[in-house]
Structure 1
Amino acid sequence: MGERKVTVAAEVGLHARPAATFVQRAKLAPMDITVAKTHGGGPVNGKSILAIMALDVRQGESVVISAEGEGADEVLDELAKIASTP
């Protein structure tokens, strides 16, 4: 299973527009994608806007994005870039 640890840079955290952009990209992937805070809580569905918003990830917090399957590395790189963009 591939994964990326990312520090969220957006001022609003992984909420609103950054969350929507993240989920839109995740939904294009053929594999399951999960997101978890590095400090507490289990992984949630990375294709669910409600699940991502419920994580309550704030600016400066880190998350682990995971995916498995063909093309996972490319998808993970793109999702990590979205999450780490200010």
Structure 2
Amino acid sequence: VGTRHCNTQNGEHCLAALVRVEKTEFLTPMFIGEVAHVTAEITYTSEHSLEVQVKVMAENVLTGAKKMTNKAALWYVPCSLQ
């Protein structure tokens, strides 16, 4: 998500480098056999950094029940490939 956003601003190619894990929450355990669904959303941008909120859901494949297991706030900065 971060690298895609960094490469839409101008013609210079870059990668997003993780520089800070602001917060990580382990809410409930995920068990063997459950499917992990990971979603990421950019929640803040500036000229020099961006924040990404990540959520992890566990799905029980037998019942279809889903529960949130983890949340995190991650900060990225663009790193030039040149």
TM superposition score normalised by structure 1? 0.27
Looking at secondary structure, tell me which structure has more strand per residue. 2
Q: Which has the higher contact order (CA 8 A, sep 6+)?
A: 1
Q: When the two structures are superposed, what TM-score results if normalisation uses the length of structure 2?
A: 0.28
Higher helix proportion (structure 1 or 2): 1
